[in-house]
Structure 1
Amino acid sequence: MFRRRLFLAACAASTMWVSACSQAVPTKISVTQAQLEQGLKGQFPKQFPIAGLLQFDMQQPQLQLLPASNQLQADLVVQLAGPTLRTSYQGKMQVRFGLYYEPKDRSVRTQRVEVMALELQDANPAMAEMVQTYGLRVAQQALQGFALYTVKPQELELADSLGLQPGAITVTAQGLDVAIESKPAAR
């Protein structure tokens, strides 16, 4: 009789545990466009020196979700200034990029950055050519691997305890879905 009760209690406990785990384990972390933009607020304006002669400044980007290509697009106001220039130049830049998850700091970062357009207002032809030659490369390098969002530790507690971690990122019409996947086996 005691064994039967013990067996029934064990069965009930394991059923409740399996039921609780199957409901509580997230399959993804969703990040809204508003959360992405909020996370960028403290990181801009951003300044990038060019060979100690010029300063390339980027203002807070406006993000656009591109689910069809699984990318984001950012439109930024930029400024080019420096002691070698007689005036500073204002302009606009448009970039597209993919995303990846960096486990070391739990961040969602840019990859495959492509500068679609970089234009400075009132730039003479020589300045415009210099911007096309060097500015595109500087902008691309400055934004490659840029952290857009950091996943909160509490969002990962259960997944981490079950040997899971964030993985593939999908751009949706509302924001991002970061898949929760198995951790690779330790070597």
Structure 2
Amino acid sequence: MLHRRRFLSTATCGLLAGGGAALLLGRGAQAQPSYTVPLAQLQEMVAQKFPRSVPVQGLLDLTVQAPRLRLLPEVNRLGAAMAVDAAGPALRRSHAGMFDVEFALRYEASDRTLRAHQLKLGRLEFPTLRPAVTEILNAYGPMLAEQSLREVTLHQLRPQDTAVFDGPGLQPGPITVTDKGLTVAFVARQP
């Protein structure tokens, strides 16, 4: 048991020196290994998935640009402000708008990714559209959020990021949003 603790302590300190992981002290003063992903790295990964087009029943197309992510540690979620353009046969010209969405994160073990889920959409705003048309677009808002962000990969852990934790039988557990980024705690692997 002492050898295992020494190994975990040495391995975690090695990762800290490399900048890839952080050691968090939990209640009871036990060290809990974790992996931290900074906001800039999340932003870079999500930007690769955009722009995205969402057709609305043959009437118009909404094109969603890459979101500007923000950390919401007080609710353990991420927020995203997203620019959207509406154009198509039902509109005479293109209209620029914005919407905001909040989401939680989950870990997908099959490909070691952190993904967006549990979306909460704010209101779509189009300053140059008539209010009645904006209301119709807001009816499609939940579909827009689902198609543009649901299950979007925000980060993929590489095998070398988790190798030291795999050996002692640990796996990624809870994801916590902090002021610095996301922290993925490692917990005992379930049999």
**Which TM-score tier does this pair reach, normalised by the shorter chain?**
0.7 to 0.9
Aligned residues of 2:101 and 2:120 also touching (Cα < 8 A): yes
Q: Give the structure 2 partner of residue 6 of structure 1.
A: none
Paired residues for 1:1-187 under 5 Å: 19-25=6-12, 27-134=33-140, 136-142=141-147, 143-185=149-191
Deviation, structure 1 residue 69: 0.6
Deviation, structure 1 residue 92: 0.7
Aligned length: 171
Q: Give the structure 1 partner of residue 18 of structure 2.
A: none
Counterpart-to-counterpart distance in 1, 2:48 and 2:152: 13
Aligned residues of 1:100 and 1:169 also touching (Cα < 8 A): yes
- The AA in structure 2 aligned to 1:103 is A
Provide, for residues 66-116 of structure 1, a one-character-per-residue CA deviation record: whole Å limited to 9, x for no partner. 111101111111111223322221101111111111111111111211112
- Matched residues, percent identical? 36
Aligned residues of 1:72 and 1:171 also touching (Cα < 8 A): yes
**Pair 16,163 (structure 1): closer, same or farther in 2 beyond 3 Å:** closer
Counterpart-to-counterpart distance in 2, 1:173 and 1:141: 26
Provide, for residues 137-175 of structure 1, a one-character-per-residue CA deviation record: whole Å limited to 9, x for no partner. 222312222211111221122222332211210000010
Listed as ranges, the gaps of 5+ residues in structure 1 are 1-13
Q: How high is the TM-score relative to the length of structure 1?
A: 0.83
Counterpart-to-counterpart distance in 1, 2:80 and 2:46: 11
Bigger Cα Rg: 1
Counterpart-to-counterpart distance in 2, 1:183 and 1:18: 16
